Structure 1
């Protein structure tokens, strides 16, 4: 008789981790018992170890999607192996796909699944629990006296045939609403950005980007909305749209038709990611029609030379046009600027600061293009001997000494360990999305006034950020002074504390408003009554 296994899946889960939840769904569909154990920070370790011991699985699968968390995952695996030395530990994700040899030097990790994981994890589970050979399992690298690399299947699974990701019984609450994440595709049609490993991850495939059918996506949205009352959906596709505006419009319109057969799109809100060259008036109008309230725009750099250095494939005109179109349709557009990269010049810095100032009415962040395993950036800094630090937490030197100094000053002020800015910049993006969602789901004068307050807060915060970026710029031209650096860090942190207090106050008011609106909507009471309660 074929045995069935108990398998624990560990991954970072600030929100539902689709990389392990797709695997869990495939395993459950084949009658294996699975448990998802979230681990996002070191403070989670006691709970993770307790859940693992209580479940007592045959196999442990760990998703290391984020290279920055690799050391944390290595540590929790080591602790698990100390208490359960017989459990087979396999790891997967973008980082292990490229760094499998170094990872398998750790004696507490038994195998690595590279590239797509649904079939390999199922085959590995069934082979281990039934004592079968591992040599025929595709995409598997494992230890057997020596390192064994099996053959690879370089193709995407049929996304429509995969079971929907395994979900918790109760949905998460995010931005005051029942929330979930989902994907409509895998891969990236661009696949050329130097800081990204996605192109390398899919380099052997004939097609670097595949999509679910609109009907399949609509079915999942309707199931989550109707059975779990989810009304906020965040899409984690690297590109929600297509490179062609015509094809993008056709896809969004098809999704709208499929959704209309199952749900009322007035009751849902969508958050997406997109590249600027996919955008025009008709596409954004269609996005608005399916409930889109927020879009994270792949800007990345606001200079011609910076876009070229990062191999973005976008133009400044694309970026400016897309932001303007989203703004005209009242869709909250946000972005990040990788204004530091190996080839950054001071002229590029000036252009990015100008862009931030021009678009200070939008929530955004800034930082450096970081090294991830398998990326062209990793190969470049190695070739140019700019690589610094130790695996897996590599650093690098920027070629221009003045820009390098400016980045280091930013690291000791905006991004110093314990600084509030990295958290606050994300919270500004979140509250910007939240008020856009509130305006759509609960349209009234009160939600409009909330939007005005949020817009004012974002503008004031961005002015504060820009003032201090300019101060970093000024310090770059001076002799280094620990006193000046510490003073600037204190000014930035105290300012961030003030703005975080403002966000918290607004968030509390929004939460009360949303809760009362939902109750009144259930009772079909006119939303004008809400105004009297605040």
Structure 2
């Protein structure tokens, strides 16, 4: 199928949206990666790349070095979700913090692009566990990430537990809940207000930066003769600029809640938000400059490839939503 897509439609990047791309065995993962790469080489697929998903414990040096060299992985979404011991238990992650840090260290050592989402707010979040996750943001600031609250989904043990504790509002369209710790609930509400444009709004920077990095990695792989190593360093600097600013903003909110009354929260958010927007505007400007230089060097915009080679894109009518 991959070879057919390459020859018939010109597809060069294959996204494995599969939570089971990796299994709990390094040996079996290596065998599978080599088998797929061998089969593609035998069929003379030519140049290609992949995007995959992984749990932190899947990110092992031997496996990922082969993933990089033989399947040309451009991006790995790593399901870190939380780095706090409390969060790891609440979310039944069956992982520990050491595995999260090892995954980041491996990707960094191999110079691979990984991204992740942190569920820093869950039903049992404490101020201490929140601080732990902010520490992790700083540790991994050279990778694009986002943060949000854990949502409750039908059929999950967490939802059943919350129903039993009578902490759930709404229905399967949207289950809502308050955080156990009133102080953490304040922090959550303030951070969502202040960070909404960065995390969730149209053109949310935290989300867009993953796409920007994918463009850079696409250029790096498919246009090695035009690629400049300094571009990657510029991109890492942009990740750090946003990641460290996000962590700093959350620390300001934590400090405010520690020392100020709830009646001052809205004013504090109004003061913090413009400072966050200034950073976002600066990072976006710097990216556009970097992107312009990349496009001029390769004489093709990496953003257009998916649209141009996928006929289904043109089969979907444009729809406008009003009100």
Both structures adopt the same fold (TM-score exceeding 0.5): yes
> Per residue, is there more strand in 1 or in 2?
1
- What does residue range 90-489 of structure 1 map to in structure 2 within 5 Å? 220-264=1-45, 267-288=47-68, 289-389=70-170, 392-415=173-196, 420=201, 423-444=204-225, 446-477=227-258, 478-480=260-262, 481=264, 482-489=266-273
| 2:309 aligned with 1:490 | no
Rounded Cα–Cα distance in structure 2 between residues aligned with 1:470 and 1:515: 43
Deviations 1:450-506 (A, max 9, x none): 111111111111121111111121222221222222222232233323322333333
Deviations 1:250-288 (A, max 9, x none): 1111111111112355x2121110012123222112211
Compared with structure 1, are the counterparts of its residues 376 and 513 closer, same or farther at alpha carbon in structure 2 (3 Å cutoff)? farther
SS in structure 2 opposite 1:271?
strand
Deviates more, 1:396-405 or 1:429-438: 429-438
Unaligned runs of 5+ in 1: 1-219, 519-534
Compared with structure 1, are the counterparts of its residues 508 and 299 closer, same or farther at alpha carbon in structure 2 (3 Å cutoff)? same
Rounded Cα–Cα distance in structure 1 between residues aligned with 2:137 and 2:11: 34
Q: Normalised by the size of structure 2, how large is the TM-score?
A: 0.85
Count of equivalent residues = 298
Rounded Cα–Cα distance in structure 2 between residues aligned with 1:328 and 1:307: 25
Rounded Cα–Cα distance in structure 1 between residues aligned with 2:6 and 2:197: 41
Rounded Cα–Cα distance in structure 2 between residues aligned with 1:331 and 1:264: 23
Contact 1:297/1:334, CA 8 A, preserved across alignment: yes
Query: How far 1:225 moved relative to its partner?
Result: 1.1
Contact 1:419/1:493, CA 8 A, preserved across alignment: no
- What does residue range 491-510 of structure 1 map to in structure 2 within 5 Å? 491-510=275-294
> Per residue, is there more helix in 1 or in 2?
2
Rounded Cα–Cα distance in structure 1 between residues aligned with 2:244 and 2:198: 23
Compared with structure 1, are the counterparts of its residues 410 and 422 closer, same or farther at alpha carbon in structure 2 (3 Å cutoff)? farther
Rounded Cα–Cα distance in structure 2 between residues aligned with 1:362 and 1:249: 25
Query: How far 1:417 moved relative to its partner?
Result: 10
Higher relative contact order (CA 8 A, sep 6+): 2
Unaligned runs of 5+ in 2: 303-323
Rounded Cα–Cα distance in structure 2 between residues aligned with 1:516 and 1:421: 26
Deviates more, 1:338-347 or 1:490-499: 490-499
SS in structure 2 opposite 1:335?
strand
Task: Name which one, 1 or 2, has greater alpha-carbon Rg.
Answer: 1
